[in-house]
Chains A and B, each alone.
Chain A
Amino acid sequence: MQSLPLLSLSIWTPIAFGILILLLGRDTNAPAMRWLALVGALVSLLVTVPLITGFDTTSASMQFVERAPWIEPFNIHYHLGIDGISLWFIPLTAFITFITVIAGWQIITERVGLYMASFLILSGLMIGVFCALDGILFYVFFEATLIPMYLIIGIWGGPRRVYAAFKFFLYTLLGSLLMLVALIYLYFQSGGSFNILDWYTVPLSSTAQILLFIAFFFAFAVKIPMWPVHTWLPDAHVEAPTGGSIVLAAIMLKLGGYGFVRFVLPIVPDASHELASVIIALSIIAVIYIGLVAMVQTDMKKLVAYSSIAHMGFVTLGFFLFSDLSVQGGLVQMISHGFVSGAMFMSIGVLYDRMHTRNIADYGGVTGKMPHFAAFAVLFAMANAGLPGTSGFVGEWMVILAAVKSNFWLGLLAASTLVLAAGYTLWMVKRVFFGPVANDHVAALKDIGAREFFVLGLLAAAVLWFGLYPKFFTDPMQASVTQLLQHVAASKLQ
């Protein structure tokens, strides 16, 4: 069908640009490095476009498959491919990277080359996670993403950056190492294959499934993150530079969610059914309890970080309701959250660059001084609260519908998010943007320039497009989700 290895190009283009910038970057040539990074991010984004246009929406099987032997003693392959589940994450990652490069344009003045290179390499690695069909290839990409993010938080972060970087790294490392054990176990169980698709059909005993579930759960629940293993996220978000927060919220959390659908549901379906109630309970706690926690935050970044956890609770809730609607809702929620959380952190970054504080109490009446910016920020806040017409509404609505269908009270609890999210987001908007001008610093604020306008405009377009015409995004998912649910419904016990 196609002659170019498009997936490989999507992965390696940003990495190649990143390495180039790493080699060329000096303290003296920062402007050139910024432009090179921008070109790299743009090329990387364009490379992903043929994936969307060439994607066969009727097929549930893997597309754009590339497969070559890699580490032969262990039968490990360089095996790539995407289906409707993974499709959207690849352009999303490239898009968000493009945004972060522009977002860090003026703010980052120290070690610019290393900063840009870290983001580009990180982007390639994350795309690799979404394309990998070989367990070890997946793991390599999954864990390698920690290294650039560790540097991003640690070098350009806030005052407690070292603590946050270590917490982020070690927390996720522990989870993923347990997953490595699970992968090796599956390798032996499947008679010597690291092919993820082979694992979908390997029979597994009930105990084995439960243990595998726990191992995978650790890896992905920490990453996504679920209550109660979420505590690294607020720290990481608060300390990370704006670009780091955007990528962390928009893409990195999705690696965990993606792991659930790619590994947990189809590989250990019986354990998933058995333990679904636990996951659903944890998800509901995340939605309600973390929603309440978000309400009382005084730091804007922390508030959005907690709101991310609450939104991710919706994702896991959707996945473990096992219906077409709910799983698709979870996926939609992930992609929408990619745009919305990216936009939220971008907006906070805009304010922080001017005021050097994220404290809500330091703001008030920003609208009067920054009307253009306020328009964007309020739109994103509405999306975060799940207002119909924005992307935030679509996924939540689908999951709530599915939840009501399975159990009315569950649906009611899940729907409480609409109230809570509106509560914490709009209350923040009220305190920051409306009311009288709080102090002289706010009075001195200047509205956004062309660069910020462009970035926020792009994000706003994405949020609205997704909200008004979700079919464009959900159509390619349909077939794959249906097939996934067939895997989930088929028992692997013998």
Chain B
Amino acid sequence: MNWIAIYPEIFLLVMACVIMLADLFVKDADHRLAYGLTLFTMLALVLTSGAYYASGLDLFAMQRMVIVDPMAMLLKLFTTVATGMSLIYARRYALDRGMWGGELFSLSLFALLGQFIMISGNNLLIIYLGLELLSLSLYALVALRRDSALATEAAMKYFVLGALASGFLLYGMSMIYGATGSLDLAVVFKTIAVEPLSRAALVMGVVFIVSGLAFKLGAAPFHMWIPDVYQGAPTAVVLLVGAAPKLAAFAMTIRLLVEGLFPLAMDWQQMLVVLAVLSIVVGNFAAIAQTNLKRMLAYSTIAQIGFMLLGLLSGMINGNGISASVAYSAAMFYLVIYVLTTLGTFGVIMFMAHQGFEAEDIRDFAGLGKSHPWLAGIMTFLMFSLAGLPPFAGFYAKFEVLSVLLATGRVWLVVLAVVLSVVGAYYYLRMVKTMYFDQPTREHRVQASPAAWILMSLNGLAVLALGILPGGLMTLCYQAIANTLH
């Protein structure tokens, strides 16, 4: 047994329980103790993940059910940071709405634990269990504001559709298990690669798995839950749903499709093409029509995920997977940048909200450029980054994906993606226009803790800094993926 591989998970589990109990028994103002413990846990996890990554640890544990490799450690580092940032941004917002407390912390930590397990799972069932732990925590988080009808509706919708997706995934996994006789991803890979098996069962299994993954990632046509959940859930929870779990879903996708089912890549790539094109089209066009900012960003998420899928489907050219690492690392880079940007955008929305007021309408941002130049500047950075304009990080994300896609020779897809980026640029620009060109419709009250302000400034500057010097993160993503795939 390589216990070292799962020390972080064990620590996380213990701390989640400790924080829940501590918050029950220690009554202090603003739940400072529980909050402090949560941040301490995250910090410890960031440090261990970093140390594990630096040591180049690459091993199996628990009878090969869990794998610890560079990609896993890097993604765990990022998900922990993203969850921590979500909580720091959310502080004032959640305090004002009575959501700040043990439930929020322990559910976030359980969600994080689920993500860790998804990221490290090397076994179909383990991955599924991680996903369920994540999903159940998120359903509960969305419903955390019991008095809000919108949030309850969103939670219900999320739960029903999420359960359906999990069912899809599990059904697909059972088919793969039936065809190959194993739950271990490496064995599945070898069996498919070596032996002639019933293709029908395998391909059916792949279809269900891809559909399940598309649900979780939020790719069209399985995207229906995203706009409602993003709009209905409290903004603090949207961050917890929309940021870190995307990274875990990416890891799950890599584990299942690449490490397990790569021999069937020609099949699932075709499916991803359809998903990607639909997502980009639906996401971009639907986002134009939105007046609610959270809903607009939800559709933009769908479009961005579609773009990420374009990287993910470029891993194999004419049956050989030499450039696979480049393509998957492009997708990973894209997603990391996307998560960084999303943290910022929803963070800004929370900054703008105050007691009894949600800054959800795009018009609520009118004139922000004049009244709060720094916050508006950060939001502008984020919007231009999402639109994929240099010199912001989003440009290199798009650039990398476009270049791996062009290497596969799918020129029409490249041109389509590029043309739809222009459509996407329209609604991001509209946000900038609202902040700078329009007259304010109401007085802006920006509320955030000093820590949140510092973090937000760093977040905005990071989007610019990674746009000027993206090479380091690109290399990091590439090495993580390359070492994982060997």
Bound form: Cα–Cα A188–B419 in Å: 21
Task: Flag if B471 contacts A173 (CB, 8 Å).
Answer: no
Contacts from B to A (Cβ < 8 Å): 370, 373, 384, 389-391, 395-396, 399-400, 402-403, 406-407, 411, 414-415, 418-419, 421-422, 425-426, 429, 432-433, 436-437, 469-471, 474-475, 478
Q: Across the two chains, which residue of chain A brings its CB closest to B374?
A: A23
Q: Which of B389, B426, B471, B478 contacts A143 (CB 8 A)?
A: B389
Q: How far is the CB of A487 from chain B (nearest CB, A)?
A: 25
Asked if A166 meets B391 with Cβ closer than 8 Å, knowing A71-B470, A71-B474, A181-B406, the reply is no
Bound form: Cα–Cα A114–B436 in Å: 11
Q: Across the two chains, which residue of chain A brings its CB closest to B423?
A: A170
Q: Which of A111, A140, A150, A188 contacts B390 (CB 8 A)?
A: A140
Bound form: Cα–Cα A111–B373 in Å: 11
Q: Across the two chains, which residue of chain B brings its CB closest to A161?
A: B437
The count of A-to-B residue pairs whose CB atoms sit within 8 angstroms is 85
Bound form: Cα–Cα A151–B403 in Å: 30
Task: Flag if B402 contacts A166 (CB, 8 Å).
Answer: no
Task: Flag if A144 contacts B437 (CB, 8 Å).
Answer: no
Task: Flag if B422 contacts A177 (CB, 8 Å).
Answer: yes
**A350 on the interface (CB 8 Å rule)?**
no
Asked if A136 meets B426 with Cβ closer than 8 Å, knowing A154-B436, A154-B437, A166-B433, the reply is no
Task: Flag if B403 contacts A74 (CB, 8 Å).
Answer: yes
Task: Flag if A169 contacts B425 (CB, 8 Å).
Answer: yes
Kindly name the residue among B419, B429, B478 whose own CB sees the greatest number of chain A CB atoms within 10 A.
B429
Q: How far is the CB of B158 from chain A (nearest CB, A)?
A: 35
Task: Flag if B406 contacts A73 (CB, 8 Å).
Answer: no
Q: How far is the CB of A344 from chain B (nearest CB, A)?
A: 27
**A187 on the interface (CB 8 Å rule)?**
yes
Task: Flag if B407 contacts A181 (CB, 8 Å).
Answer: no
Q: Which of B389, B399, B421, B437 contacts A155 (CB 8 A)?
A: B437
Bound form: Cα–Cα A187–B429 in Å: 30
Contacts from A to B (Cβ < 8 Å): 70-74, 111, 114, 136, 139-140, 143-144, 146-147, 150-151, 154-155, 161-162, 165-166, 169-170, 173-174, 177-178, 180-181, 184-185, 187-188
Complex contacts, B471 vs chain A, CB 8 Å: 70-73
Complex contacts, A188 vs chain B, CB 8 Å: 403, 406-407
Task: Flag if A181 contacts B402 (CB, 8 Å).
Answer: yes
Task: Flag if A177 contacts B406 (CB, 8 Å).
Answer: no
Q: Which of A73, A151, A177, A180 contacts B436 (CB 8 A)?
A: A151
Complex contacts, A170 vs chain B, CB 8 Å: 422, 425-426, 429
Task: Flag if A181 contacts B418 (CB, 8 Å).
Answer: yes
Bound form: Cα–Cα A316–B429 in Å: 31
Bound form: Cα–Cα A144–B385 in Å: 12
Bound form: Cα–Cα A70–B396 in Å: 13
Task: Flag if B406 contacts A146 (CB, 8 Å).
Answer: no
Task: Flag if A150 contacts B415 (CB, 8 Å).
Answer: no
Complex contacts, A140 vs chain B, CB 8 Å: 390-391, 395
Q: Across the two chains, which residue of chain A brings its CB closest to B389?
A: A143
Bound form: Cα–Cα A165–B470 in Å: 29
Complex contacts, A111 vs chain B, CB 8 Å: 370
Q: Which of A147, A174, A185 contacts B389 (CB 8 A)?
A: A147
Task: Flag if A174 contacts B419 (CB, 8 Å).
Answer: yes
Task: Flag if B415 contacts A139 (CB, 8 Å).
Answer: no
Task: For the complex of A and B, list the 5 residue pairs with the smallest distance between their C-beta atoms, beginning with the closest.
Answer: A140-B390, A71-B471, A177-B418, A154-B437, A184-B403
Task: Flag if A184 contacts B406 (CB, 8 Å).
Answer: yes
Bound form: Cα–Cα A139–B398 in Å: 13
Complex contacts, A181 vs chain B, CB 8 Å: 402, 406, 411, 414-415, 418
Task: Flag if A166 contacts B389 (CB, 8 Å).
Answer: no
Q: Across the two chains, which residue of chain B brings its CB closest to A72?
A: B471
